[in-house]
Amino acid sequence: MRGKKLRQALTSGKRVYGIALEGFGHPRWPRFFANRGLDFIWVESEHAPNDRETISWATQLYAAYNICPLLRIPEPSAALAAMGVDAGAQGIIAPYIETVEQVKQLKGAVKYRPLKGEALQTALNTGKFPSAESEAYLPMYNEDAVLVIMIESPAGVRNLPDLLAVGGVDAVLMGPHDLSISHGVPEQYDHPIFVEALQKVISICQQHSVGVGIHYINGTVERAVSWANWGFNLISHRGDTLFIAEGAQREIGELRAQLGDNTVTSASSSMLESGHSM
């Protein structure tokens, strides 16, 4: 699935499925991930030390295997967003969005590139482009461009109608760890305050025909299904680090048990259980 089809699915309310990649693995990974039910992956550069070259080969390889590559940038920066799309990402995930101006500048970087400077600001502020030809050209040039904003605070929830009114946002992704902490109920994902925030975001997104999802790195399939039934259609389920760690622990644990050796240490188990929500 390319960015254009992912965007169309998101805005029409259809579900799309993907995972987070912290480490990207190696160049053979995209081939192994192909044809395994993934519509997209998103590569991480907010909490993981991946450089521009790594991001470039990873995004372009996943795209070559028809898995839409999104990139989470470290901060809501138009320059970083443009850099990511230039590297090969077909979409940008921007963290901790709270203001209309942040969304406008990200929209310009992702949907209006390569327009820059005064011409870009005029287009963003007035809707006027250098010419009719330029206005018609930009959607074709950026046909696979996907913009996802992250809502992780009360201000983000409160301002969401105005943020989406800017246009250009294809989906909203919530970070439950930060969202719960900023609402005063850390990691209490069944707390009425947290549940109310999630349901409010879902409702607003549906009113604006914008995709909506949540990424809980430690979440179970049961939790993901429960949340999806509330109306989430951007299904971002866990990530590479825990998939690998838990797979290794499970099978090595089975080998140890069947061969009568010690099970995995409690310290290692607690590390798996304690992970964080990216």
Supply the pTM of this predicted model.
0.93
Token pair belonging to 114: 């390569």
Output the CA angle 219-150-39, nearest 5 degrees: 60
Whose tokens are 């040039």? That residue is 141
Separation between Cα atoms, residue 22 and residue 234, nearest integer Å: 19
Q: What is the pLDDT of residue 241?
A: 87
Cis peptide preceding 114, ω within 30 of 0: yes
Q: Which segments in the chain show pLDDT lower than 50?
A: 266-275
Q: What is the pLDDT of residue 27?
A: 83
The 10s digit of each residue's pLDDT in 220-250 is 999 999 999 999 999 999 998 888 889 999 9
Q: What is the pLDDT of residue 75?
A: 96
Concatenating the DSSP letter of every residue in 117-152 gives HHHHHHHHHHS--S-HHHHHHHHHHTTT-EEEEEE-
Parallel, antiparallel, or unpaired for β 91-94 and 16-21? unpaired
254 contacts: CB under 8 Å, gap ≥ 6: none
Q: In terms of residues, how long is the chain?
A: 278
Domains annotated for the chain, with CATH where assigned, are 3-274 (3.20.20.60)
Separation between Cα atoms, residue 2 and residue 64, nearest integer Å: 9
Q: What is the pLDDT of residue 263?
A: 65
Q: Is the Cβ–Cβ distance between 40 and 68 less than 8 Å?
A: yes
Rg (CA), the chain: 20
